[in-house]
A and B are shown apart, each in its own frame.
Chain A
Amino acid sequence: MSELLTGRQLGLLVCTRCRATVRANPVGRSRCPRCRAPLHARKPASLATTAALLVTAALLYIPANVLPVMHTHQLFSDEDDTIMSGVISLAQQGSWPIALLVFFASIVVPLLKLVALGEIVIASSRRSVRNAQQRSRLYRVIEFVGRWSMIDVFAVSLLVALVQIQSLAEIEVRPGALAFAAVVVLTMIAARSFDERLLWDAEQRG
């Protein structure tokens, strides 16, 4: 594999707003001469931000799964459902496809996202170059799949809005849903704030 040059090596910066390629200011910070946006060789503090968001998301992942997501009040029963108990009851009712969908979208995917992003961040901070390509692919998958994790939150908010037959049946949001939504949003932001180019920086130095 031939040496690939990067803009940074050539002292060039690309404006992330207007895509203008400019020569970097040798000292101090730079600004895009066209659109006046600040220019950075890499997203500033990308790793730290991503790591912080990931930690937050990981922390919130616990209440998101432990606390009930929604509260179903029916004529004869009151029930608190966590995500997992929802999956189980769906499976028990025979709705296997939906159960699987919810299970993957709401439990597996966020978890995988956390683990994968964590791995990427750790690898980047260690400047490991091995499997950089896989990591890059993984990162793209994560970015793509991230929004789909909100399926649970959508389901709950829809149900809460729809099922409001006073005293007969009622569904309320419980804090778990909030935590879960936060997990999804935080992992998405974390993915966005990670500068993919960091994956390859080590190679350059290498």
Chain B
Amino acid sequence: MADPPTPSIDDLPKALPDAPHLRLPYVWILPVIVVLAGVFVAIHDKIAQGESIEIRFRTADDLEPNKTKIRYKAVEIGDVKEIRVSKDRKEVIVEARIHRDARDYLVEDTRFWVVRPRITGANVTGLGTLVSGAYIGVDVGHSTVQSRQFTGLEVPPIVTSGLPGHEYVLHAGDIGSLSVGSGVFYRHISAGQVVAYSLDPGGASVTIKVFINSPYDTFVTRETRFWQASGIDMSIDSEGVRLHTESLAAVLEGGVAFQPVGDGPPSPPLPADTAFTLFTDRERAMRESDTPAQTFVMYFKGSLRGLSAGAPVDLRGINIGEVKRLSVEYDRSAGMLRFPVEVDIFPQRVRGRSKGTAETAAGDESSDAAQRAIIDSMVAHGMRAELKTGNLLTGQKYVAVDVHGGAAKERVRWDQNPPVFPTASGGLEEIQDSIGSVAKKLDKVPYDQISMRLMATLASLDQTLRSTDRLMRQVDDRIAPQVDATLKEAQEAMRSAKDALSPNGPGQNELGATLLELSRAARSVSALADYLERHPESLIRGKPRDPP
């Protein structure tokens, strides 16, 4: 610190004066800001933490605390915080936090389910969750009552509440191959899904709920028929083999099809939850519009083999009903078995197709008595039922109703229940009978004797043929040379004849002269004949002398 030329402090320049100004330690605002920010974040977090809810599931498969998200329309609205087993150990309770802004979604009928990969017959869903892990899906309900306790669905709902469309109710005898999620088809277009089904109390039928998406729900009208479009519908009946399928999806997992019956103008769509009947097949659905049916019993003489329930009742090719039931009964009075065939006939079908002519009948077609009168008159005119074979290949039979001119007088026995319709043994049966008798007669022919005779005859025929053969050979050997010589001689004779007849031959001139003479002679004969005709007396008196 002792530099040799130490400059005097006083030599140093003087600092310039500066205006005094206030200096606050403003940096202290920083920690204040940080603290304030911390408090703000803490409060915000506390608020944004959202609502704590409990969802009950059967298992906690694929769910993980702090990882599994809750998503509404694929937007995250919360996450799973804790999973524990319920006290009764039957379920798991998933505790989740829902973001504050999704608080309004937590109403009574809000549904929760676990979205995980699912592969059903025609659907593959949730593939994304294979990679990302499962999440909990939400469908917000319509209720206004808030709730914090929910029971999760085990299967994702088919129809979420936002989907436009309507739900309808179908009644059916059985569920067929339908299941929840089966398609509903309108003219083979996928138009909705089966949402739920349940067995009716009593267990005699099932109720199926279907959801039909907009805009197809507008086609559900009073004329609409629903039928099972499940799988492959193959039927063998008197009309042959028929194969009918809906789309491949329906083949795989069943489906329901619907369509309006007839081609009438479109009716106004029906409100949701309208009940319909679910028919077993399309044909039945389209056909059975014309109930009520009139049930008859028919007793046929022949075998009922080939006739089955569902076989058509045919009026000259027009289907007017179907066979309902076949059975056997003991007829006490006759001491014999009878085979009643119960058929349903739809009289309206007959009438509907002859409306123009049967206006009076149509007027009071509701009247039972009028109906009976019509049937009675038809029976009186010889209308009978008979069994006919519809398909020779399958042997299926049907009931044909037709007018038989020469039928014995009979009538419908209305006193029975159901009334008995008169029958006639069918044409084919008669043919069968006559064929039978022919066969019997053929049977009596002594085929073995005939065949033995035939054998003998054939043997002698063989012999004859052989001797003929021998004869022919003799002819060849002996007669042929002689024939040859004879022919040669004949040829010679012919040649000389030819020479004689040639125009320059010697005989020819003489022949000409002779012919000339002959014609002269003929002329004189003709003159003679002429004279004789004019003077027949000359034959007796001779030719008179020429007058001088």
Contact = CB atoms under 8 A, between A and B. Distances in A.
B18 A12 contact: no
Contacts of B30: 52-53, 55-56, 186
Contact of B13 (A33, A55, A63, A78): A33
Interface stretch (B19-27, B257-265, B499-507): B19-27
B15 A33 contact: yes
Contacts of A193: 27
A39 B14 CA distance: 11
Contacts of A23: 9-10, 12-15
Given A22-B15, A28-B18, A33-B15, A45 B23 contact: yes
A126 interface: no
Interface residues of B, number: 26
Contact of B34 (A24, A28, A60): A60
A48 B27 CA distance: 8
A55 B23 CA distance: 20
A52 B27 contact: yes
Given A49-B27, A78-B67, 19 more contacts: A12-B12, A20-B13, A23-B9, A25-B14, A25-B18, A27-B17, A28-B17, A29-B19, A31-B17, A44-B23, A45-B23, A48-B25, A52-B30, A53-B30, A55-B30, A56-B33, A59-B31, A76-B131, A76-B133
A27 B20 CA distance: 10
Interface string A27-39: 1111111101011
A59 B17 contact: no
A13 B16 CA distance: 11
Contacts of A36: 16
B38 interface: yes
Contacts of B38: 59, 63
B18 A29 contact: yes
Interface of B: 9-10, 12-21, 23, 25, 27-31, 33-35, 38, 67, 131, 133
Contacts of B131: 75-76
A149 B461 CA distance: 131
A24 to B, nearest CB: 6
A21 interface: yes
Contacts of A56: 30-31, 33-34
Contacts of A27: 17
Contact of B17 (A29, A48, A52): A29
A10 B14 CA distance: 13
B31 A55 contact: yes
* CB-based closest 10 A-B pairs: A30-B15, A29-B18, A48-B25, A52-B27, A31-B16, A55-B31, A56-B30, A56-B31, A52-B28, A31-B18
A78 B19 CA distance: 60
The CB with the most chain A CB atoms within 10 A, among B9, B14, B19, B31, is that of B31
Nearest to A5: B1
Where chain A touches its partner, the secondary structure class is: mixed
B453 to A, nearest CB: 98
A143 B335 CA distance: 125
A180 to B, nearest CB: 14
The CB with the most chain A CB atoms within 10 A, among B12, B27, B29, B33, is that of B27
Contact of A59 (B13, B14, B25, B34): B34
Nearest to B14: A23
B17 A30 contact: yes
A58 B9 CA distance: 44
Contacts of A29: 17-21
14 contacts: A10-B9, A12-B12, A13-B15, A23-B10, A23-B13, A23-B14, A29-B19, A30-B17, A31-B17, A52-B29, A53-B27, A55-B30, A59-B31, A59-B35
Contacts of A53: 27, 30
B15 A32 contact: yes
A38 B23 CA distance: 13
Interface in A154-186: 186
B12 A25 contact: no
Contacts of B16: 25, 30-33, 36
A49 B15 contact: no
A191 B170 CA distance: 82
The CB with the most chain B CB atoms within 10 A, among A11, A27, A29, A31, is that of A29
Interface string A50-68: 0011011001100100000
A70 to B, nearest CB: 17
B2 to A, nearest CB: 12
Interface string A71-92: 0000110100000000000000
A25 B31 CA distance: 35
A13 B12 CA distance: 10
A42 B227 CA distance: 97
A33 B14 contact: yes
Contacts of A25: 14-18
Given A28-B20, A45-B23, A78-B67, A39 B31 contact: no
A30 B16 CA distance: 5
A55 to B, nearest CB: 4
Contacts of B35: 59
Nearest to B130: A76
Contact of B25 (A13, A28, A45, A75): A45
Contacts of B13: 20, 22-23, 33-34
A147 to B, nearest CB: 20
Given A52-B30, A55-B31, A31 B15 contact: yes
Contacts of A32: 15-16
Contact of A21 (B12, B27, B31): B12
A98 to B, nearest CB: 27
Contacts of B28: 48, 52
A11 B27 CA distance: 29
Nearest to A24: B15
Nearest to B35: A59
A60 B393 CA distance: 94
B395 to A, nearest CB: 65
Nearest to A189: B27
A52 B20 contact: no
Contacts of A24: 15
